[in-house]
Structure 1
Amino acid sequence: MGRSQQTFGKSEREKKRLKKREEKKKKMEARKLDAKENGKKGIEFAYVGYDGQLTDTPPDPSKKIKVKAKTIELGIPKKTEETEVFNPVRKGTVSFFDHSKGFGFIIDSETQEKFFTHVSGLIDEISEANKVLFELEKGQKGMNAVRVKLL
């Protein structure tokens, strides 16, 4: 004859599950009894206010906004081509450039932001403290200065 498949761990888990079920049942009965004694019914109807919170008072119908179903866009909105209004050529100063490693940083004269530049994006030979003209291009870790030339 085979042995029983009931192990100590299984029986302990079953005891815990039954105990949780009993506790849940007791809590539910206590809530029902408390509601009967205090006369609370809870919120019979829940309304969503204009701020997104649940309330027990209905919203003001005069503030209702009519939305056409055709204007609702589901999913990710299509990306539109953004035309840049500002001048793409910027002025700046070379704060650091290492010729042996082939990279450096340029500080924009208007915004004081620091942009990475690589030797492959240079038009003229640059060194530290040079005034330069450059354009920005999206790189892997942010905006990079490209087409860098001396003023």
Structure 2
Amino acid sequence: MLPFMFLAAAVIAPGTRFTCTPVAVWDGDGPIWCAEGPKIRLAGIAAREIDESCRPGHPCPQAGGRAARDHLVALLGGARGTRSTGHVIVRGPRLSCVSNGSAKGDRTGALCRAAGVGDLSCAMVRSGYALRWRRYGGDGLCGSERPQD
């Protein structure tokens, strides 16, 4: 099993392709902790916070934060346990990602694909657990549904 560590992650430069082996998830739009070091915030979407709230000015899907997190965890192969911090441990498929730059702090905003799932951001939107968010790359993402401002 891969170790669960909080590595000091640098933000990956926009346009850079990289691989992520998921080891932990916080909520429905990330961060997803990668064994390789990065922390990914899924680009172009917004999910409720884990405390079920929506931050002011963010799109606010109807689905709850815990439900969104659990759906993302399922897309990543299912839960393998929970850390005392609340992070859900996963051992999912390797992700193929493209950075769109900083997602605040040491998180990298990215569009990521998983075998058998496709684009994770789109999978979260299609399932109703997240909304597209224009501010963070939601234009043209996942087809024709209207992105939120």
**TM-score of the pair, normalised by structure 1:** 0.28
Q: Which has the higher contact order (CA 8 A, sep 6+)?
A: 2
Q: Which has the larger radius of gyration?
A: 1
More helix by share: 1
